[in-house]
């Protein structure tokens, strides 16, 4: 895997195979990093993972217009992951006259619309009294459930990119049953790169995925520097085996991250924003 900084404008295509670009690596409230939203590119194919409140501006600063995004996946409904979805939907609908593809289960589609997007998107700008729906703005790519227990895993494709999503535990604190927790998903790309996205320290799903997909090369795991049970606490992650830690980059970190030395603690390091992780080089 080769790591290289973005030079020039960010593109949704490449000629180097599977690549991960962190738009940001920060926590929801970071003031020095963008929020942890990610672009996967693989030759002519791409996928935006999450679209938080700062996503469109961050992409603009990288030289990319958010309306150029054709494929996206949303992990859960916190604003640092969905805050710019309304902008994306409106710009695509009214300016580009297109519907981006969104990987989303039926359960989450209903919740995302009803609890978050409906207020800003249901009323048509065109004064034709049409009540707009989720499907007026997005093409749903419905992933197929491939594993029922102990934790559901779903699969689909975006062009040549294989996508598997799995239920995570994020909130509430101290909840250990995924069925009782807020809907949240992690994602596995090409059975090679695993992203926890927002998850508490949850070895059940981590070990399940590592066991089911021994081809996993790297893990990008969210972390919180201070003790807590919303994201994986740094010190809990530091207690994982050296084998797991050496393929684990940390992301979604708060601005006090320099109080920790991830490499000295056995991790691959802190993920960096504005940087490509190229898996075929």
Give the shortest CB-24-to-Zn ion separation in angstroms: 14
Q: Does 231 bind Zn ion (CB under 5 A)?
A: no
Long-range contacts of 6-10 (CB under 8 A, 24+ apart): 6/62, 6/274, 6/275, 6/276, 8/63, 9/62, 9/63, 9/64, 10/39, 10/59, 10/62, 10/63, 10/64
Give the shortest CB-79-to-Zn ion separation in angstroms: 9
48-56, 142-150, 190-198, 218-226 -> range binding Zn ion (CB under 5 A): 190-198
Give CA–CA dist 274/59, Å, rounded. Answer: 10
Each residue 8-47 as x (binds Zn ion by CB under 5 A) or -, in order, gives ----------------------------------------
Give the shortest CB-115-to-Zn ion separation in angstroms: 14
Each residue 147-186 as x (binds Zn ion by CB under 5 A) or -, in order, gives ----------------------------------------
Q: Which is nearer to Zn ion, 141 or 182 (CB)?
A: 182
43-68 core/surface letters (b: 16 or more CB in 10 A; e: else): bebbbbbbbbbbbbebbeebebebbe
Q: Which is nearer to Zn ion, 33 or 78 (CB)?
A: 78
88-96, 116-124, 191-199, 214-222 -> range binding Zn ion (CB under 5 A): 191-199
106-114, 143-151, 193-201, 218-226 -> range binding Zn ion (CB under 5 A): 193-201
Q: Which secondary structure element, helix H or strand E, spans residue 151, and what is its range?
A: none
Residues 6 or more apart in contact with residue 125 via CB below 8 angstroms:
90, 94
Judged by CB under 5 A, the chain residues 70 through 109 that form the site for Zn ion are 78
Residue 201's Cβ-count burial label (10 Å; 0-12, 13-18, 19+) is buried
Judged by CB under 5 A, the chain residues 194 through 223 that form the site for Zn ion are 198
- Structure tokens, 145: 């459930």
Give the shortest CB-62-to-Zn ion separation in angstroms: 23
Size of the site for Zn ion (CB under 5 A): 2
Instruction: Please give the residue ranges that form the binding site for Zn ion (CB under 5 A).
Output: 78, 198
């Amino acid at each position: 895997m080769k790591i290289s900084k973005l030079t020039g404008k960010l593109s949704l295509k490449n000629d180097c195979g599977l690549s991960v670009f962190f738009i940001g690596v920060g926590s929801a409230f970071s003031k020095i990093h963008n929020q942890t939203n990610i672009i996967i590119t693989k030759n002519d194919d791409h996928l935006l993972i999450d679209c938080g409140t700062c996503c469109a501006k961050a992409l603009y600063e990288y030289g990319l217009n958010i309306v150029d995004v054709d494929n996206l996946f949303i992990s859960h409904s916190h604003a640092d992951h969905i805050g710019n979805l309304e902008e994306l939907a409106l710009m695509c609908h009214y300016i580009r006259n297109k519907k981006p593809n969104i990987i989303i289960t039926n359960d989450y589609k209903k919740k995302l619309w009803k609890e978050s997007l409906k207020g800003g998107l249901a009323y048509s700008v065109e004064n034709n009294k049409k009540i707009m729906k989720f499907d007026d703005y997005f093409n749903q790519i419905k992933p197929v459930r491939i594993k029922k227990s102990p934790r559901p895993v779903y699969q689909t494709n975006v062009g040549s990119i294989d996508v598997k999503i799995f239920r995570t535990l994020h909130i509430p604190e101290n909840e250990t049953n995924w069925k009782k927790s807020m809907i949240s998903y992690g994602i596995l790309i090409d059975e090679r790169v695993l992203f926890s996205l927002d998850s508490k320290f949850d070895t059940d799903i981590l070990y399940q995925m590592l066991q089911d997909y021994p081809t996993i090369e790297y893990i990008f795991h969210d972390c919180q520097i201070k003790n807590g049970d919303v994201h994986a606490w740094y010190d809990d992650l530091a207690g994982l085996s050296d084998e797991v830690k050496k393929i684990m980059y940390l992301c979604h970190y708060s601005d006090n991250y320099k109080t920790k030395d991830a490499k000295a603690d056995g991790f691959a390091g802190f993920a960096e924003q504005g940087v490509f992780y190229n898996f075929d080089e």
